[in-house]
Amino acid sequence: MKPIHAMLSWSIAIPFIWVALGQALASLPNPGTCTGTCINTHDPFIVRRPDGVYFRFSTSGRITIHTAPAITGPWTYQGAALPRGSSIDLPGNQDLWAPDVIQIGNTYYLYYSVSTFGSQTSAIGVAQSSTLDAGSWTDLGSTGISSNASMPYNAIDPNLINIDGQYYMTFGSYWAGIHQVVMRNPPTRTATGSVPYQIATHPGTKDVEGGTIFKHKGFYYLFYSKGFCCRYDQNRPPPGGEYKVLVCRSTSPTGNFVDREGTPCTRGGGTVVLESHGFVYGPGGQGVYLDPQLGPVLYYHYLDTRIGYADSQKQFGWNTMDFSSGWPVLR
């Protein structure tokens, strides 16, 4: 039984709860500066070429490419990564999603998703380039990661991590959350005999997706998006049900991720890093980039409530992160 002094009536407690919530949200910073083309950036991915040019890849437009001299911009549209779409013979192969790019030696690999909204018939494909430029990409087709209604995951939202020459693909959306599978070297196909295993889910819900793993000072941080992602102009979820960014961490890239309270990510764990606040609505589709000047950067898409709620109005957002506590705090 709780002590008497803790048994406050809701009429007294609720105002204090809302004050605390308001203070927490007020502490979240606004996105950093973005100039040039900052709109229509669903699921952005940032990579910096050795010559200092920043490339931003994003969903739709057959993987849209923008470039800039800095993460702040000005961002300029360059074209589509795969102007002919994907060779994967599935619905959605002309409207590609959730790009992820990694450099291995002198080659860049671009991973993308083929699917349609709400469907579990999906696959992850890969293309390669030596320059990152629009018009330079060669589609290699499927990585061997696919899904249908008989599987516990959806084969979208790829993120590849290289650990001392061993490659792991993190992927998954809705259904039973985020999974991982071992890849070959070079990582154009899954490793022989490798079976996807779950690394994050929220039991009782399906809205966990978009995992990104970032290694920092001995820990592997799993950032992911939770909530309803899209079409807010047609049907907005109840407050708090929209996209937000959560994180868990582990000393291994392959599992046992827990949140700041020690709750496993496979049992609903996840510490909030970024959520709706002020004019920022539904932030997610995130990635993490180690900028040579700024340090660790969380980037994402969000909707500016002063502009609108359509998917085509999604803005590019970014913030630096402070890991001094062992957990990422936005600045």
The catalytic residues are: 43, 209
Q: What is the pLDDT of residue 9?
A: 32
Q: What is the pLDDT of residue 281?
A: 98
Rounded to an integer, what distance in angstroms lies between the CA atom of residue 86 and that of residue 193?
Answer: 26
pTM of the model: 0.92
Residue 10 has pLDDT above 90, yes or no: no
59, 66 in Cβ contact below 8 A? no
Residue 192 has pLDDT above 80, yes or no: yes
CA dihedral 233, 239, 242, 248 (to 10 degrees): 170
Q: What are the respective helix, strand and coil percentages of the chain, to the nearest 5?
A: 10, 45, 50
Rounded to an integer, what distance in angstroms lies between the CA atom of residue 183 and that of residue 150?
Answer: 22
Residue 17 has pLDDT above 80, yes or no: no
The amino acid occupying position 97 is: W
Query: Half-sphere exposure (CA, 13 Å, Cβ side) for 1?
Result: 3
- How much is the mean pLDDT over the chain? 92
- % the chain with pLDDT above 70: 92
Q: What is the pLDDT of residue 5?
A: 34
* CA-based torsion, 70, 276, 283, 325: positive or negative: positive
Residues 65-92, mean pLDDT to the nearest whole number: 98
Residue 156 has pLDDT above 80, yes or no: yes
Rounded to an integer, what distance in angstroms lies between the CA atom of residue 238 and that of residue 180?
Answer: 31
For residue 22, count CB atoms less than 10 angstroms from its CB and return exposed for 0-12, middle for 13-18, buried for 19 or more: exposed
For residue 108, the 8-state DSSP code is E
Confidence of residue 206 (pLDDT cuts 50, 70, 90): confident
Residue 195 has pLDDT above 50, yes or no: yes
φ, ψ at 324 (rounded to 5°) = -60, -25
φ, ψ at 247 (rounded to 5°) = -145, 145
Residue 237 has pLDDT above 80, yes or no: yes
Only one residue has tokens 């764990």, namely 269
Q: Where would I find the H helices in 225-301?
A: none
Residues 210-217, mean pLDDT to the nearest whole number: 97
Residue 12 has pLDDT above 50, yes or no: no
Cβ-based neighbours of 324, under 8 Å, separated by 6 or more: none
Residue 216 is encoded by which pair of tokens? 């920092």
What DSSP string describes 199-243? EE--TT---EEEEEEEEETTEEEEEEEESB-S-TTT-PPSTT-B-
* CA-based torsion, 189, 151, 301, 255: positive or negative: negative
Residue 91 is encoded by which pair of tokens? 């619905």
φ, ψ at 275 (rounded to 5°) = -145, 180
For residue range 28-54, what is the model confidence (pLDDT) as tens digits? 999 999 999 999 999 999 999 999 999
**What is the third-level CATH fold of 4-330?**
Tachylectin-2; Chain A (2.115.10)
Residues 302-309, mean pLDDT to the nearest whole number: 98
40, 325 in Cβ contact below 8 A? no
Q: Which residue ranges make up each domain of the chain?
A: 4-330
For residue 39, the 8-state DSSP code is B
Rounded to an integer, what distance in angstroms lies between the CA atom of residue 123 and that of residue 59?
Answer: 15
